[in-house]
Amino acid sequence: MNTVDIIVAKRDGKKLTEKQIAYMVEGYTRGDIPDYQMSSFLMAICLKGMEREETVALTRIMKNSGDVVDLSAIDGIKVDKHSTGGVGDKTTLIVSPLAAAWGVPVAKMSGRGLGFTGGTVDKLESIPGYQTTIPEEKFFRLVNENGIALIGQTASIAPADKKIYALRDVTGTVENLSLITSSIMSKKLASGSDGILLDVKCGRGAFMKTEEDAVALAEMMVEIGCADGKDTRAVITDMDQPLGCAVGNSLEVREAIDVLKGNGPEDITRLSVILAGLMIHMGGKANSAKEGVEKAQQALDDGRGLEKMKEFVAGQGGDPAVVDEPERLALSEKQLEIKAAADGYVSGLDAMLIGQASQETGAGREKKEDDIDHGAGILLKHKIGDAVSKGDCLCILYGKDEKKLQAAAKRAEKAFTITKEETQPRKLIHQVIGGEIE
């Protein structure tokens, strides 16, 4: 077999065999195939696409490139939840304790943020003392004792994806259904849970810009998960505007605490309750998804979700007092407000621009090695559908560096569209694939 022949075959739109795909993925992971040839191969996939069988094979090869975790030492049906990436998406911090409160074991491994989208591990690390890397034995013990542990993904899970994703990120080859499917599902299938709940984002701040593309991605991922014997479901949700009002690490932890106290923004509260409800049903603790959603709402209303958050924070060395006193979480000292230039209604709030502006405040990284400022980010004061008067504060930016904050403010300002005509709030949940919720 020959690398160039395989690249040429894909360039010419041919269907590849499992052996050819394995040759490329395994060769690249070992370091035998250089970045320039793999980039060319990935671009050929983006331009010519892959058939279903090729995508299934690619996922299997990437999953088996590293360890496949065995969670059988943890009792119960383990359910994992994964978002395809977005801005202000802190649902993992909320749904995990809500599901754990009903006895669904949550043994979750998450990633860091890259580019304009955030990552759960960075958010958790904004809690003083919280350890996202703990010995495996402690991870299992915490899930068995507290019902929940949230850690960073270990290097041994799907190493092929780690290497390929880093290359895709800098070669314009992220937005492809087969590549996204194999990247996400290889990691999820290797993480060992029994069920996988996917939150597939669509809109300006998501990889999939239209509902149609998001549904196609969701259906492919659900099919691959089910074929591997996992109960896999997907929810298609809006990412045209950010989720909730907080964007940036400690700001998002504060908002997650607010949601668990019953004081959070409506959109993120509703989505979290639905996702947690589906997890409760998938974990066998409710007879239907609808009952699961009711139970998730109960755990939020009676404070059990909040108590679970304290437990998992303390279990991993974090300061549980942040839950009662969120002001203990870092907040960068410099602030800048953006004001409405005219009376009207917010008719657009571009999630991607807000994500990029948040990254510019210091909350995100451009390269994997970059340090981040946990106290930086953006707090939105108005969202789509809100009426505003000239001079009203639209959002506050937090950061340490005045120049960066000014640049971020310019970008954030462009994210808002204010029109004279009244606008309606956006629909948050488009579809559920694999389970009725109402």
Give whichever of 63 and 404 is closer to ligand URA, judged by the CB atom.
Answer: 63
- What's the CA dihedral at 383, 384, 388, 391 to 10 degrees? 50
Give whichever of 85 and 192 is closer to ligand URA, judged by the CB atom.
Answer: 85
Whether 355 and 249 have beta carbons less than 8 Å apart is answered as no
Give whichever of 83 and 241 is closer to ligand URA, judged by the CB atom.
Answer: 83
Which of 80, 89, 122, 161 is labelled catalytic? 161
Q: Which residue is nearest to ligand URA (CB)?
A: 183
Cα gap 147→306, rounded to integer Å = 14
Which of 187, 188, 233, 285 is labelled catalytic? 187
Smallest separation, CB 111 to ligand URA (Å)? 7
Smallest separation, CB 184 to ligand URA (Å)? 5
Which of 82, 285, 295, 404 is labelled catalytic? 82
Smallest separation, CB 174 to ligand URA (Å)? 6
Cα gap 23→335, rounded to integer Å = 52
Give whichever of 63 and 285 is closer to ligand URA, judged by the CB atom.
Answer: 63
Smallest separation, CB 164 to ligand URA (Å)? 9
Secondary-structure breakdown of the chain: helix, strand, coil percentages, each rounded to the nearest 5 = 45, 15, 35
Beta bridge pairs of residue 236: 200, 431
Q: Is 304 a catalytic residue?
A: no
Look up residue 166 and give its amino acid: A
Which of 162, 168, 201, 295 is labelled catalytic? 168
Whether 247 and 376 have beta carbons less than 8 Å apart is answered as no
Where do contacts with ligand URA occur on this chain (CB under 6 A)? 84-85, 165, 174, 179-180, 183-184, 207
Element (H, E) at 62: helix 52-63
Give whichever of 168 and 411 is closer to ligand URA, judged by the CB atom.
Answer: 168
From the list 62, 57, 149, 144, the residue with the least C-alpha distance to 97 is: 149
Block residue for tokens 């006193």: 325
Beta bridge pairs of residue 201: 237
Smallest separation, CB 237 to ligand URA (Å)? 15
Q: Buried (b) or exposed (e) across 293-318, using 16+ Cβ within 10 A? A: bebbbebbeeebbbebbbbbbbbbeb
From the list 347, 270, 77, 69, the residue with the least C-alpha distance to 189 is: 69
Smallest separation, CB 154 to ligand URA (Å)? 15
Q: Buried (b) or exposed (e) across 366-380, using 16+ Cβ within 10 A? A: eeeeeebbbbbbbbb
Which of 96, 183, 193, 272 is labelled catalytic? 183
User: Could you give the 3-state DSSP secondary structure of residue 168?
Assistant: helix
How many CB atoms sit inside 10 A of residue 339's CB? 14
Block residue for tokens 């010519």: 48
Smallest separation, CB 29 to ligand URA (Å)? 16
Give whichever of 132 and 183 is closer to ligand URA, judged by the CB atom.
Answer: 183
Smallest separation, CB 247 to ligand URA (Å)? 18
Q: Which two tokens stand for residue 98?
A: 């809500």
Q: Is 161 a catalytic residue?
A: yes
DSSP codes, 224-236: HHHHTT-EEEEEE
Beta bridge pairs of residue 237: 201, 429
Give whichever of 23 and 165 is closer to ligand URA, judged by the CB atom.
Answer: 165
Give whichever of 65 and 146 is closer to ligand URA, judged by the CB atom.
Answer: 65
The distance from CA 395 to its chain's CA centroid, rounded to whole angstroms, is: 23
Q: Is 427 a catalytic residue?
A: no
List residues with catalytic annotation.
82, 161, 168, 183, 187
